[in-house]
Amino acid sequence: MANGGQNTIPVEKVVRRDPEIHSGALVFSGTRVPVDNLVGYLKGGYSIEEFLQDYPTVERWQLESYLDLSSQGLDYLRAQDARAS
């Protein structure tokens, strides 16, 4: 997965968009599982283990890589906001 906080897996192996799958919603690559399902689980207080049990086509490394990529994206947006202020 990640090395020292830097994700080394190409994003297209983690998530992708395809207009033929869920109308182009972001899904975990190689699955039809929308990323929003993970977000809903976590916001609802469910664990990562419960998500992986309910969606066995999603690999743990994909989930962890997505969370890592998401945090990097949020850090980038925060830095951009701070520079704009």
Would you place residue 4 in the very low, low, confident or very high pLDDT band (cuts 50, 70, 90)? very low
The answer to pTM > 0.85 is no
Best CATH choice for the domain 2-84 from the list 3.40.50.12280, 1.10.10.10, 2.30.40.10, 1.10.1740.10: 1.10.10.10
Q: What digits encode the pLDDT tens for the residues 37-76?
A: 999 999 999 999 999 999 999 999 999 999 998 877 667 6
Task: Tell me what pLDDT residue 77 has.
Answer: 57
Structure tokens at 62: 């994909």
pLDDT of residue 6: 57
| Sequence ranges of the domains in the chain | 2-84
What DSSP character marks residue 50?
H
Residues facing residue 15 across a β-bridge: 28
Q: Is the pLDDT of residue 2 over 50?
A: no
